Amino acid sequence: MGTWFVVGILLLCVAAAIRSMLRRKQSGKSLHCGGDCSRCMGECNKKSHLQ
């Protein structure tokens, strides 16, 4: 029974994470880039120039 309890908690955590990601995407925020180019060394900006 303890195993099912732990599995249930893990499923709730995964569902909450997915829900949060979907809400951020729907609000226009990117899932892969936070807009802070110092963290990704400007890779987002480089990709946009190549297109």
Question: Which residue's structure tokens are 């732990």?
Answer: 6
Question: What's the average model confidence in pLDDT over 10-25?
Answer: 92
In terms of average pLDDT, the best of 8-12, 23-27, 34-38, 47-51 is: 8-12
Q: Is the pLDDT of residue 51 over 90?
A: no
Mean pLDDT of the 20-34 span: 74
Say if residues 13 and 19 touch (Cβ distance below 8 Å).
no
For 44, counting Cβ atoms within 10 Å of its Cβ (0-12 exposed, 13-18 middle, 19+ buried), the class is middle
Are 23 and 15 in contact by the 8 Å Cβ rule? The answer is no
Better-predicted residue by pLDDT, 16 or 41: 16
* Of 29 and 36, the one with more pLDDT: 29
Contact 45, 37 (CB under 8 A): yes
